[in-house]
Amino acid sequence: MVSWAIAVHGGAGVDPALPVERQEEARRVLERCLQMGATALRAGLAAVDVVEMVVRELETDPVFNSGRGSALTRKGTVEMEASIMDGRGRRCGAVSGISTVKNPVSLARLVMERSPHSYLAFDGAEDFARDQGVELVDNSYFITEENVGMLKLAKEANSIMFDYRVPLTGADTCSASAGLVGAKAEGVLQMNGLPISIYAPETVGCVVVDCSGGCAAATSTGGLMNKMNGRIGDSPLIGSGTYACDACAVSCTGEGEAIIRSTLARDVAALMEYKGLGLQEAVDYAVKERLDEGKAGLIAVSGNGEVAIGFNTVGMFRGCATEEGFMEVGIW
Ligand code: ASP
């Protein structure tokens, strides 16, 4: 028997000027999800069921950038993405370009369990969703007033984009690398060429190790605000944004292009499997050595019940809970 553990995230790259009410709202949602996951784990649910359930909850709440409340493409539409991986047998499923499915993470699970494939996108994924009878909603369900306003700001910001980068110091990092590099324009931190305040870095993810030592990970996102139509980020890419095996489960968040370049989630697992590193050591190494400064973060659990967090952005919405009764939610 292993002590279960769960971690959730609601995105890396938090705006340092984020209003307190918004911080509290995010903390409340993360706490609710952790409690929900902990109750399910106490009842003996398998890791893969728990990550799907928690991510569905996050997709349904418009507070983060997944499902309802997803970031918008430059055409003002949603193209959501999600993935899920069960460490037991390394089974996985992923979807991209989703615009009518209420819970993309559950569609990813159906790809894993009921299709001969691992990854379906756009029309093919929507056809599969209809065949499977998943809950569909009108595209407008996903589009919040707040995000329409953010898209407008993002378009304006892109037209005045600054392209020089300076190191910023004094950022409070969690357990990973110190220091931060971002583009600074009149004090505005940028990611992917957008001020962090409108970049919508609030992808969600969940990793779980259950009491039999089974690990699973799931990640879901609307992607980047003002992204090109057809853009695919790290979140649905197994090995980049999501990975699970017997050793660990990992879910990443931040600038997808940087996470893809570093195959971040798989690197954490490979460091454990091939180099024999412990979970936190592997997370620290991957964040420090593989990831561009100031770009992303991740949550991870190991098959023997450990939980680890690492990021090199100013903040990351995150939380974790363990069977021993430990529970923590943090932003900075
Ligand atoms: N990684 C996501 C993407 O690039 C964004 C995020 O994590 O907030 O689509």
> What residue ranges line ligand 1, CB within 6 angstroms?
11, 65, 201-203, 221, 223-224, 233-235, 253-256, 259
79 strand-pairing partners: none
Residue 176 confidence (pLDDT) = 30
Residue type, 149: G
- Its pTM surpasses 0.75: yes
Q: Select from 83, 61, 20, 65 the least CA-distant residue to 226.
A: 65
Active site residue 77: no
Atom of ligand 1 nearest to the CA of 296: 7
Task: Write the CATH number of the domain with boundaries 5-140+199-330.
Answer: 3.60.20.30
Which residue puts its alpha carbon closest to atom 8 of ligand 1?
201
Dist. CA 254 → ligand 1 center (Å)? 5
Pocket test for ligand 1, best of 72, 255, 292 (most atoms within 8 A of CB): 255
Residue 69 burial (C-beta neighbours within 10 Å; 0-12, 13-18, 19+): buried
Pairing status of strand 80-86 against strand 215-221: antiparallel
Q: Are the beta carbons of 2 and 247 closer than 8 angstroms?
A: no
DSSP labels for 214-265?
-EEEEEEE--STTBPTT---STTSBTTTEEE-SSEEEEEEE-HHHHHHHTHH
CA 81 to ligand 1: nearest atom: 9
Q: Which residue lies with its CA nearest to atom 4 of ligand 1?
A: 256
Q: Which helix (H) or strand (E) holds 268?
A: helix 264-275
* pLDDT tens, the chain, 332 aa long: 899 999 999 999 888 888 899 899 999 999 999 999 999 999 999 999 999 999 999 999 999 999 999 999 999 999 999 999 999 999 999 999 999 999 999 999 999 999 999 999 999 999 999 999 999 999 889 998 989 998 998 888 775 443 333 333 333 333 333 233 333 444 566 776 666 666 667 999 999 999 999 999 999 999 998 999 999 999 999 999 999 999 999 999 999 999 999 999 999 999 999 999 999 999 999 999 999 999 999 999 999 999 999 999 989 999 999 999 999 999 99
Task: Supply the pLDDT for residue 307.
Answer: 98
State the pairing for strand pair 119-121/91-98.
Answer: parallel
Residue 199: which residues within 8 A CB-CB, separation 6 or more? 13, 154, 190, 191, 192, 224, 225
